[in-house]
């Protein structure tokens, strides 16, 4: 039985129990049915979770390694990226429009993912910003950088304009200045991660 059929059957059974409850006089039996209804309703309210975690591919002979993970919980998407082996300082991390890390320079990923055709700016700018222009993260003295980010402006696999599936994460060797067009003068592309769901 598939998930939809199970849902319909459960709803039908709950409706029958509710009708029995309405016409029932025994208070103990009513309490039992109330308990069953509450627990059944709670079990059907499971959080929808989608996760994608892939490794970072080095570009332009960079020694970078690490992982990027996206997790969607209901209407929000959470990003957690860990990069290792790169020079200290601020580095830009962006989502690019094509999920293809095959080229050594990362140009196969295209430009910033910008589904609404806005100018490049800092995330949250009321005048508009690229949905792929996440921002900068700091790499410490031992070469480790971490980025955590959450937004309800993305989705995973929803097949809408704001779907990040089949895009790519690009890490640059410099910081995004949030001003230069079209990509913030972030420097060379040093790491790439394809946002796709593994078939394994």
Span 138-164, average pLDDT: 96
How far does CA 192 lie from the centroid of its chain?
16
pLDDT in tens, 88-126: 999 999 999 999 999 999 999 999 999 999 999 999 999
What residue has token string 């209407």? Answer: 75
Q: Where are the beta strands (DSSP E) in 99-199?
A: 133-139, 145-151, 167-172, 189-195
CA–CA distance, 150 with 152 (Å, rounded to integer): 7
CATH number for the region 49-195 comes to: 2.60.40.200
Predicted pLDDT at 48: 79
CA–CA distance, 23 with 33 (Å, rounded to integer): 12
Q: At what angle do helices 27-43 and 3-23 cross, to 10 degrees?
A: 160
pLDDT in tens, 27-76: 555 555 555 555 555 544 556 789 999 999 999 999 999 999 999 998 89
Banded model confidence at residue 4, pLDDT cuts 50, 70, 90? very low
Banded model confidence at residue 197, pLDDT cuts 50, 70, 90? confident
CA–CA distance, 27 with 182 (Å, rounded to integer): 69
- Give the pairing type, strands 65-73 and 133-139: unpaired
Q: What b/e string do you get for 12-38 counting C-beta neighbours within 10 Å, with b at 16 or more?
A: eebeebeeeeeeeeeeeeeeebeeeee
For residue 3, the 8-state DSSP code is: H
Phi/psi at 54 (nearest 5 deg)? -135, 160
Q: Taking a C-beta distance cutoff of 8 angstroms, is the pair 183, 94 a contact?
A: yes
Q: Where exactly are the structural domains of the chain?
A: 3-43, 49-195
Predicted pLDDT at 3: 44
CA–CA distance, 62 with 192 (Å, rounded to integer): 11
**What does the block give as tokens for 130?**
């690229």
């Amino acid at each position: 039985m598939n998930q939809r059929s199970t849902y319909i059957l459960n709803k039908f059974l709950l409706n029958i129990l509710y009708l029995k409850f309405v016409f029932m006089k025994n208070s103990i039996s009513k309490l039992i049915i109330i308990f069953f209804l509450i627990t059944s309703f709670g079990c059907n309210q499971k959080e929808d979770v989608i996760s994608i975690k892939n490794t970072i591919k080095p570009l332009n002979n960079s020694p970078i390694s690490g992982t990027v993970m996206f997790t969607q919980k209901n209407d929000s998407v959470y990003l957690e990226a860990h990069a290792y082996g790169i020079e200290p300082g601020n580095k830009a991390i962006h989502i690019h429009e094509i999920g293809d890390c095959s080229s050594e320079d990362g140009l196969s990923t295209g430009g910033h993912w910008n589904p609404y055709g806005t100018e490049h700016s800092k995330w949250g700018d009321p005048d508009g910003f690229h949905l792929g222009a996440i921002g900068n993260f700091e790499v410490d003295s031992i070469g480790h950088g971490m980025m955590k980010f959450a937004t309800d402006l993305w989705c995973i696999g929803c097949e809408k304009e704001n779907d990040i599936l089949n895009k790519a994460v690009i890490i640059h060797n410099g910081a995004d200045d949030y001003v230069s067009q079209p990509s913030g003068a972030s420097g060379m592309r040093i790491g790439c991660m394809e946002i796709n769901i593994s078939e394994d």
